[in-house]
Structure 1
């Protein structure tokens, strides 16, 4: 008589492992595509770079790039969003929020803002300049993305301004909206472009400048 099979036996760990492994490989492939796309876009420009080149450099099919990113505008959006995470273990926005909740010295908080701004700007400014150039050439998708990027950055700066206002750190005569404008100007790609890319400032010097600018205008 054959042994009885227990119908309630759970799925084998091997299937769970295989599923997790597939997810890991898919994410690694996604990151590789973004890395190769970033290199090609910044090296050749948005218009001169093709999906076929990106796919070949990443070792994937063009169809998979279209499926996952929807074409070049979607790739640039994904690269820009990835750049906003910064270079730390925790995403830059999460570190910013944590600093706003825990830092008691307003000057130290501005220093942390300056460091995060410098860190993120190093990664995101080349992509914003790429979007700006493509938009200026008449690409409607890139023009829309440029506006989307600016709008999202302003919303983030307004969030930061409202947080420091709620803690009583902000100069009394300033509204959160006015503070957001100062922070919006201080995080503009054009400022990083002028001081770092054109004038050769170091990232540390730039971060210190932003910290002092924010402290002088907000505290």
Structure 2
């Protein structure tokens, strides 16, 4: 009889805690130093682990993807947004106006936490084909989640009907990017409140029935 595998709950918990320290350290360094300057050695030193332990977590580009997810949601994983706690809370809105207000606040909060990482991600993608493939996959995932949200809104009869649903999803995806947040808040100098108000108006212009 083959020996049964036994995984110690304590060992699994320790491994998860170690990974979280590594991902958190990588995220801080990516945001502060950029992708190229964030070496595995620096991640290891910041997390208080060996380089070998960092290497065991996967390639550096995957650590960047994980860091974006953890910084955004507090957890890793590619769950459907509409099934996640944040998505369920957003879609609990009583009408489209409330959805827009909640959505603008949520997008602001996400971007305040992650725009520096998205900057590092985009810069690295321009120079590295593997990172670019990861970037493209992440963009497709986000856009797909937004398309699902738009589908729910359309099913409720809340959306304008003179623009294709796919175009509405694409427009909402573009409005919500960290790049737009950075341009308006960091480069132009808007306050986060101003950005949130602008985003809500822009979402309304895009989605509200004519």
Aligned equivalent of 1:126: 116
Give the count of matched residue pairs: 198
Aligned equivalent of 1:54: 43
How far apart, in 2, do the equivalents of 1:82 and 1:36 lie? Answer: 11
Per-residue CA deviations over 1:31-79 (Å, capped at 9, x if unaligned) read: 21112112222232211221112112211111111112x1211111111
Give yes or no for the alignment of 1:26 onto 2:15: yes
How far apart, in 2, do the equivalents of 1:20 and 1:202 lie? Answer: 46
Per-residue CA deviations over 1:1-35 (Å, capped at 9, x if unaligned) read: xxxxxxxxxxxxxxxxx944333332222221112
CA 1:163–1:119 in structure 2 vs 1: closer, same or farther (change >3 Å)? same
CA 1:217–1:161 in structure 2 vs 1: closer, same or farther (change >3 Å)? same
Shift, 1:177, TM fit: 0.8
How far apart, in 2, do the equivalents of 1:149 and 1:120 lie? Answer: 15
The structure 1 residue matched to 2:94, chosen from 101, 104, 111, is 104
Q: Which runs of 5+ in 1 are unaligned?
A: 1-17
Aligned equivalent of 1:12: none
How far apart, in 1, do the equivalents of 2:119 and 2:184 lie? Answer: 14
Give yes or no for the alignment of 1:192 onto 2:181: yes
The structure 1 residue matched to 2:53, chosen from 60, 64, 68, is 64
20-29 or 117-126, larger mean C-alpha shift:
20-29
SS of the counterpart of 1:102?
coil
Whether the 8 Å CA contact 1:86–1:119 is kept in 2: the answer is no
Runs of 4+ in 1 over 6 A off after TM superposition: none
Whether the 8 Å CA contact 1:86–1:123 is kept in 2: the answer is no
58-67 or 195-204, larger mean C-alpha shift:
195-204
Normalising to structure 2: TM-score of the pair?
Answer: 0.84
Whether the 8 Å CA contact 1:51–1:71 is kept in 2: the answer is no
CA 1:56–1:96 in structure 2 vs 1: closer, same or farther (change >3 Å)? closer
Shift, 1:192, TM fit: 0.7
